Structure 1
């Protein structure tokens, strides 16, 4: 999945990627899958020169910035 996002970013000549998704449970704590995908996106982006600016998880009345939390 990370590769698909990076290919699209290249096709669109993007300089950065901003990722946002929600957790229907309302708890914005990153799952292990969220962490792994974000790390893969950041690594792939580094290789092709496209920065992952931020990955935000939205919950009920709260959010989590994975970059601010140090996940990448």
Structure 2
């Protein structure tokens, strides 16, 4: 359950409605550590499932300093 996140959830719900009408979007959720990004994302994905809307989670990890490439397990 997300507390005090209505300001963030509202726009995401609107995007889900748009996606269910075949108008897709890309959403980037970023911010400081431990502010609830993962919980917000999980709630978004859970709400997308019943709509048969394609929603995916991708985690961008810092670049590998030695190779200057994304770290293993990172998004493409």
User: TM class by shorter-chain length?
Assistant: 0.3 to 0.5
- TM-score, scaled relative to structure 2: 0.45
Q: 1 or 2 for the larger relative contact order (CA 8 Å, sep ≥6)?
A: 1
More strand by share: 1
Give the number of the structure whose alpha-carbon radius of gyration is greater. Answer: 2
Give me the TM-score of the superposition, normalised by structure 1: 0.47
